[in-house]
Copies of this chain bind each other. A is one copy, B any other.
Amino acid sequence: MMIGKPIATSESHHQAINKRIGLAVFASDALSSVAYAPGEILLVLMLAGTAYTYLSIPIAAAIIVMLLILTISYRQTIFAYPSGGGAYIVARDNIGEIPAQVAGAALLTDYILTVAVSISSGFENVAATFPFIKSYETELAVVTVLFMMVMNLRGVKESGKVFAVPTYFFLGTMVVTLVVGFFRYATGSLPRMEYPAEELAALQHNAMTLGLLLVLRAFSSGCTALTGVEAISNGITAFKEPKSRNAASTMLAMSLLIVFIFGGITILTNLMGVLPRDHDPAVIPYISALLFGPGVVTSLITIGIMLILIMAANTSFADFPRLCALQAGDGFLPRQLTIQGSRLVFSWGIVALSISAITLIVIFNAHTSSLIPLYAIGVFLSFTLSQFGMVKRWLRIGKIKVGKEISVRNAHGDLDVLKHDKQWRLKLIINAVGGVMSLIVMCVFAVTKFTEGAWITVILIPTLVFIFFRIHVHYKSVAKTLSLSGRPVHPERRPIKTIALIDDIHAGTVQLIEFVMSMGGDYEAVHLDNDTAKTERILAKWNERMGDTGHELKIIPAPYRDLTEPVVNYVQNILDGSENGFVHVVLAQIIMDSWAEQALHSNTSIAFKLALQHMDRVVVTDVSYPLHFVNSK
């Protein structure tokens, strides 16, 4: 129950899925990064000329080692947190509030960047096959995000099966590409890309000499292949029983698929001498065009890449509002966001995510390579915190004696039951290795990409954490101030003075007076005089029509045209004359059917309310009069 009640929409499409569907639902983010990660490595290496592109193979191998370590680490999290163990929850329950909020900030930025990077890369891949869209990439990316926003706002009814189609279509195209590629290599018929001399000269910059820094930069860029590998650990509850076991198997399958595709594409690009063009990391379309010609097959492969990237972006549309709700529940984001079932909340999250992603796309011209430096820091920061959270947990478990269990109250007061585990030392070491590796990658990334854009994330995450804590302090102060603990409560009747504010004499006024009469107590009818002629007209109308009330209309001068100040002063005078009495100000408000019509009316009641609501012991009531037009002309 640690992640709170599951959201209705997520329930509907995540419920009791098998491993095959689970892979489709959760693997799109991780699998889709093959669309840009191999190209990103090459783009960095090409800074030192095309002679060193073969280094992409050992770099990819290092990344695959990193992936396998993370997979083993995360499988432990999956078994330890059968109800879902995202970085935020693991950090919160084991390390504390600050690391948890850092993880939250990292993940929120990560989700935004997943959308921006995936959609940008999608159109770069499409442009590699269909060059005529090249100059419209930014526009197309913005329109696509807007389209996804609208679809998600309307509430897409996805079932796991809908996810399965594009994911398995993409996997199918990748298997075909790799099998055909390696078969032709084995038979010696693998084609090799021959770039015209002038294009080759333009592609390689020779701007830098090869060195450790450049290799590390290339490695950092390639680590974007690892984004999304944690997705399954968040969604364990969606699997069929035995949940943890099924989720863990799916995670392993996903990682092996990444090894196969990411590794295979990296080797094929080298064997075929394919280079990314136009500073865009897309390479698979060129491999395909060379293997199958520029026809139907290449078009289908390109569509597959676009589809898997849209799926990847779409996962953020579910994850972003869900994490917001979680953080809001803990009091670090506006509390309204916890109302999980409400359309409004998800709308807020979806719109915020879309606007942020569109802003990034526009600023960086939908250019994946410019967005990548902002991307992976958040991902690896959350990996690090999640793994160290697990280390802390194994340390605690290590102290529990055989057959015993302890209940730990986490930072937010929820109970977490820990049981003895004889393998705790081994598991601790595995998570520690995963955490240290993630930390190293994050540092390498932050240093090598700092000036290229990583500084933005380095500033943004602490800023977000600061805001989260400001919000938290506010909620704590409010709760303390409102608390009745230790205060005896004896609600009692207090004197009350009712004032009916009369703006004009019309059907709405009659309803106002009838309401005030119906409350039963005495009242005073008051008009603010800011226009002598109008006041005389209103007095005459009152005396003519409101004679039945037996009340005079009292006139308060309001010479400076500002109507709120005289009312505030009048009310203050009454308050001063009564120790604990209420003043109840009642006014009429005409209600139109539409916002546009409402805006045409003076809505002075809002101004009165804003002025009076800060006064103690003052209550304002708008007697709304919904207008039903006699006729429309």
Contacts and interface: CB of A to CB of B under 8 A. Distances in A.
A626 B614 contact: yes
A627 B478 contact: yes
A599 interface: yes
Interface stretch (A218-226, A387-395, A541-549): A541-549
Interface in A570-616: 582, 584, 589-591, 593, 597, 599-603, 609, 612-616
Contacts of A475: 600
B484 A562 contact: no
B633 A477 contact: yes
Given A517-B492, A582-B518, A620-B624, A630 B480 contact: yes
Nearest to A628: B481
Interface in A60-119: none
Contact of A626 (B474, B483, B613): B613
Interface residues of A, number: 80
Contact of A336 (B334, B602, B629): B602
A290 interface: no
Interface string A495-522: 1100000000111101001110111110
A539 B493 CA distance: 22
Nearest to A623: B619
Contacts of A549: 491
A515 B619 contact: yes
Nearest to A480: B630
A475 B336 CA distance: 37
A471 interface: yes
A633 B473 contact: yes
A602 B478 CA distance: 13
Most buried by B among A473, A560, A603, A616: A616
Contacts of A631: 477, 480
Nearest to A344: B607
A490 interface: yes
Contacts of A482: 506-508, 590, 627
Nearest to A514: B491
Contacts of A151: none
A489 B624 contact: no
Contacts of A340: 561
Interface of A: 334-336, 339-342, 471, 473-475, 477-478, 480-484, 487, 489-496, 505-508, 510, 513-515, 517-521, 545-546, 548-549, 560-562, 582, 584, 589-591, 593, 597, 599-603, 609, 612-616, 618-624, 626-633
The 5 tightest CB contacts between A and B, nearest first, are A341-B561, A482-B506, A613-B624, A621-B621, A496-B518
